[in-house]
Structure formats: C-alpha cells, structure tokens
Amino acid sequence: MKKSLIAFVFLAFAFGCQEQKSDEKAKEDPSAQKTDPLPSWNEGENKKRIIQFVENAIDEKNKNFIPIEKRIATFDNDGTLWAEQPAYFQLIFALGQIHKMAADHPEWKDEAPFKHVLNNDMESLMKEGESGLLKIVMTTHSDVTVEEFQKQVKEWLKITKHPTHNVLFTDMTYLPMQELIDYLKVNEFKVYIVSGGGVDFMRAWAPEVYGIPTEQIIGSTMKSELTKTDSSVQVTKVAELEFIDDKEGKPISIQKFIGKKPVIAVGNSDGDLAMLQFCDDNELPSLPIYIHHTDEEREWAYDRESHIGKLDKGLEEATAKGWIVTDMKSDWKKIWKWE
Amino acid sequence: MKKSLIAFVFLAFAFGCQEQKSDEKAKEDPSAQKTDPLPSWNEGENKKRIIQFVENAIDEKNKNFIPIEKRIATFDNDGTLWAEQPAYFQLIFALGQIHKMAADHPEWKDEAPFKHVLNNDMESLMKEGESGLLKIVMTTHSDVTVEEFQKQVKEWLKITKHPTHNVLFTDMTYLPMQELIDYLKVNEFKVYIVSGGGVDFMRAWAPEVYGIPTEQIIGSTMKSELTKTDSSVQVTKVAELEFIDDKEGKPISIQKFIGKKPVIAVGNSDGDLAMLQFCDDNELPSLPIYIHHTDEEREWAYDRESHIGKLDKGLEEATAKGWIVTDMKSDWKKIWKWE
C-alpha cells in the first residue's frame, strides 16, 4: 500500500462531502436510444469498433463469428466499472467498519493502528505503513461468515456517501459501462468481473447493480473454513490472504474459474495488462479495451504517475498493438446516471 | 492412496478387456419418452420426488418455487456421473501417460516408481505407497500448459478402452444422470460438476459429454503460473497441489466459485457428504441426493467397506434425514447407453 494512497484516504475523510451533484437527468432523444445500444457513448472510432466486433461475433456468416459458449467477457471493477478515487471503496468500507466495531473493542482506543482510525488521525495511520492497513483489512474481513460479512457490506452501502461526490458508492458506477454490459448480455456474451477487490465484498452488491450473478464475479480471496453447527453449515472467512487477483493473477484465475480465454477484456490499469494480453492471445477474434481516466472535471484524470490505478506500461502496449483506449473525456457523453 | 486401490489398478491391467457388452439399444416406447423426462429411471418414490421438486421449483405460484438465479445444482463426477471402478479413470490415464512419455525418459527404466509402471509390475508400484503414485500424477500433470495437457487427455480418451467393460471411458457415464442433467438444464437450473478429480482433466471432455461448459466444472487444482512468450500467453501447470476439492473442500469451493448454496447436490461417497449438508442447509427448498452402488451385475456394488467411493457416514445421515438414496439396481432401468 503506497503512502500516497493513505494520504488520499486522509484527504477523502478530511474534505469529504463537499460537492453535491445535480440529480437532473440529461434529456435524451428516446427514438435514438432505441436503436443505439450505447447511448452514453459519443460517436467515434472506439464506439464503432466495439459495435462492429459484437455484430460480427453474433453473425454466423461472418468470418469473425464467435460461438456462444466462447463469448466470454471479463471486466475489471475498480476504475473500470466504478470509480476508485480518492481511495478504493473497499478500503473506505474497512475504515468505517473499525469505527462500528470499536464499541466491542475498548482496547482499540490505545492500540495502533486502530486508535488512529478512531481518532481520524490519518497521518499516524499512514506511518503504520502497509502492515497497519493490512491489519485493518484482516480485522474487518475475517472471523465472520460470508453471509454475515455481506450483510455488513450491504448495510454500509445503504447509508454511506462518497466523500467528494456525495452519492451512494453504488451510484459511482459508470453508465457507459453498464450499457456495454447490457449490450453484451443481450448478445449472449457471458460477462464476468475479474477484480483485485475482495470477492465477497463485490458479490454483496454487484449482482444487483450490474446484473452479474455471484458465480460470474471473481476476485481476491481470503482463506476460508467450514463452520458446522447443529443448525447450519457456513463458510467462514479466515485472517489469511489466499489469492491476490491482480496482474498475472488475473489470467491465472480466469483459467481456473472459467477455463478459456476471454474474447473481450476491459481494464484501466497496469494491473489489468496480463488479462488484456491473455484476451489478445485468444485464437478467436478478441477485443482488449482500456479505460483511460482523462476527465478531471466529471471524474478524475490520472494514469502513469498515479498510485491508484496506475496506467503506464499498459498504455504503451495498447497503443503499440492498436487496442481500444477509451478516452473518458471524449468518448463518454455521460459518465454518471445522476449527471 | 489406499493399497487396495493400487491393487485394483493392478487387477484392471492384468485382467483388462475381458468383457464385451452388446451395443444393442433397448427398445423403448417413443410416446412414453416424450412425456417422461427421466425414461431410464424406474417409476418409484425417488423418481417421483425428483420430478416433484423440479416442478415445484419452476412454478411461481408454488411455495417451493426457486428463482432462476438460485437454481444451482452441483454434481460429483467419479461414481456419480461416470464409473470409478476398478480405479479412478484419471489414475489409469496417468499410468498410461508414463508409458507414452517413457521414450523421452530413458532413465525411468531404472528409476522407481516409473520402472514399475513400465514393467506393468503393479505389486512393486503398490509398495511405493502414496508418495510413488503422487509422483506419477505430478509427472504426468505438470510442466505442461493447460492447452497441451487437455490435448493429451482427449487423445487418450479417443483410443483407450475401459479395462473390464471394453468401451471408451466417456461411455462409462450413467444414462440416468445424463437425463437428470438435461432435465435440470431445460428447467433453467445451472448445473455444475464439483469433483475431487482434476479440473483440467475433466474440462477436456466433460463439456462435450455432459453439455456442461468449462466454467461450470470445479475440481482439484495444481498450482499454475503464466508463461508469456512473444507469440503466446499460456497458463502452465506446476508440480504442486493447490486445492483438493473433496470432503469439506467441496462446500468451500462452491462458496468460492459459485457464491451460493446449491438447491440440488448429488454425490455417491462420504467425500460428498459436506456438499450434501451444505445443500441441505439452504434456506430455499433443497434436495440432497446420494447414488448408491448396488448393482454388481450391470455396474459394481460397494459402499461402507470400499476404498474407492466409500459410503458409510453419508448413508447414515441420508437415511436419518430422509435424503434421496438412489438404488442403482432398482431405480435405474438402464445404466449405460450401450446396454
């Protein structure tokens, strides 16, 4: 965990909830929407290439036809389907949980790193470094059944607002990506999330928000064990990392969970590069897509130097290989549904 | 690996290919087949309960209705969907591969356990114990890309016959289970295999044989790593066990891969008991099913004392809880499609 990331968390907490965006819906032409599968995308080369790829894939007479069982699309989540600034939302959740759990842990008021979280003293928390944050994640994500953990996530999502945009975190999802998911589903692609985020965290809300079932959500995992009582059989999360679903971990987990290379893979950072390469290597026609954060006004602008969602090598390779690089500022007519 | 299992392997090799079953198809009434979703099952309480469960599950007005996204059915493979005698077929494959690989390994003719396999000296192989057999599995299942490994499996399946029944191993699948899978699929259940067998082994043939896609096949795994060259990105199997998908491993992997409890779970051994308990604990209506090997004439008869597919505690619990225990001899009109 980079120090600057922790600094972002601090900033998020210190200056949270300043901005209130208008909920007014953009006025759209309903007749145009009917025929355009991606109405929140501006016309242009990228939109055209995506639609052409899908139209070829479903046309049995086209040389780029893809049989239904091979229509696998994998999406990163943080920074690709929803925002990841000023810090990964799952980390903001973990910090919030420490506050909530503190009543049962009076000892935390004198114990680092917990006391720093409770005192909103992000500078001191920052000094605890990676091991301090890992302790916070472990404490809030283990010794709990998956069922109970997901209840906690759902509860938090229902009441907590994003620190700068002041909307629910589930409203920090990108409308153009929702449209892309729906477009692919209608055309019988099986859409997966393949994220560095925790799988149990995402499965608590992503099925409802994206319409992607739990079995199509892959993420980082903690070890787990079976807890049997007379009245129940539950899986309990254990305080030990099992698998980090990032970088080369992504193609490895795609092979393990899905068993075939994706024909579409979408990401936004160097952490997604191996997944996009895996997609690019498909013997079938394939479409690796990067989302480039270029809109500091409506969203955030960051890439090569960022500590969250760093996109450096990926940008080089995408350019060299002619992959789609979606420019959020120019390609997306609308980013948020509440815009 | 139990010694008796190894003895079975020996017997399989020593007395293989004795029996030739008739390929003559049983004459069935086509009009009866049209309305009966399970024509190879005899009429009786078990068949009635399965059909009733499915009919309730798809009837929105029924109190036992199950929403489509919750219709998860998990099947063990060895001994549940195909036979597992006289030894697990994957082990027979591994022994065959040693013979095939021997040309590139002249040193094996003097090296245990390989020399015993090459000499068909099962007695000596048996003396090498579990570590000897593990070495054989590791040697034949690692340092190979998943793609190349699956080619080897497919090739083997195409030409190798079962040692006593003299049909292809893929013809050692149970017709009544094929019908059950098809029946569930038609009624929008998502059917998974959750097996102690190796996932890459099963994914080489099960999609075609059962109509279950690779992403719905869960099994034991070896560790793996990414192999990138200028021309390809491949996942390579590494010689280290990662996860044994048996006993309590089954509900743990169901949680990890699927993220919800099954409403139907089918197994044949104590290794499936935790999966059936996990299914039984579903808050929705659920149906745990055991397959009991009772037909020594058409298949094999074994349970409490067997070293392969031991069914002891599971039988107790199934009886106590009123789960379905399918009696192969009396419940199945036809076991094999070539019967």
Nearest CA in chain A to B231: A281
Q: Distance from first CA to last CA of chain B, Å, rounded? A: 32
CB contact under 8 A, A215 and B258: yes
Q: Who among B146, B228, B251 is closest to A233 (CB)?
A: B251
What pLDDT score was predicted for residue B279?
Answer: 98
Residue B70 predicted with pLDDT over 80: yes
Residue A142 predicted with pLDDT over 80: yes
**Measured between CB atoms, does A101 come within 8 Å of chain B?**
no
Share of chain A above pLDDT 70, in %: 90
CB contact under 8 A, A217 and B248: no
Q: Who among A69, A207, A278 is closest to B233 (CB)?
A: A278
Average pLDDT over residues B1-14: 42
Question: How far apart (Å, rounded) are the C-alpha atoms in residues B180 and B54?
Answer: 11
Residue A130's pLDDT band (cuts 50, 70, 90): confident
**Measured between CB atoms, does B141 come within 8 Å of chain A?**
no
Nearest CA in chain A to B72: A215
State which fold the B40-85+170-331 domain adopts.
Rossmann fold (3.40.50)
Average pLDDT over residues B218-235: 95
Which residues on B lie below 8 Å from A202 (Cβ)? none
pLDDT per residue as tens digits for the range A281-325: 999 999 999 999 999 999 999 999 998 999 999 999 999 999 999
CB contact under 8 A, B256 and A224: yes
**Measured between CB atoms, does B225 come within 8 Å of chain A?**
yes
pLDDT per residue as tens digits for the range A36-95: 999 999 999 999 999 999 999 999 999 999 999 999 999 999 999 999 999 999 999 999
How close, in Å, is residue A140 to chain B by CA atoms? 19
Interface probe with B: pick from A148, A203, A215, A217, most Cβ of B within 10 Å: A215
**Measured between CB atoms, does A207 come within 8 Å of chain B?**
yes
Mean model confidence pLDDT for chain B: 91
Asked whether the whole model's pTM tops 0.95, one would answer no
Which residues on A lie below 8 Å from B214 (Cβ)? 258-260
- Tokens describing residue A162: 């994003």
What pLDDT score was predicted for residue B34?
Answer: 56
Residue B4 predicted with pLDDT over 70: no
Q: Calculate the CA dihedral of residues B146, B152, B154, B160 and round it to 10 degrees.
A: -150
Average pLDDT over residues A151-179: 97
CATH classification for the domain delimited by A41-85+150-331, as one of 3.40.50.620, 3.30.420.40, 3.40.50.1000, 3.40.50.300: 3.40.50.1000
What pLDDT score was predicted for residue A35?
Answer: 85
Nearest CA in chain A to B70: A213
Average pLDDT over residues B306-318: 96
pLDDT per residue as tens digits for the range A268-281: 999 999 999 999 99
**Measured between CB atoms, does B278 come within 8 Å of chain A?**
yes
Q: What is the ipTM of this complex?
A: 0.89
Interface probe with B: pick from A149, A202, A205, A226, most Cβ of B within 10 Å: A226
Nearest CA in chain A to B221: A256
Residue A242's pLDDT band (cuts 50, 70, 90): very high
Which residues on A lie below 8 Å from B73 (Cβ)? none
Contacting B residues, span 30-49, partner chain A, CB-CB under 8 Å: none
pLDDT per residue as tens digits for the range B17-49: 333 333 444 444 544 445 899 999 999 999 999
**Measured between CB atoms, does B224 come within 8 Å of chain A?**
yes
CB contact under 8 A, A248 and B255: no
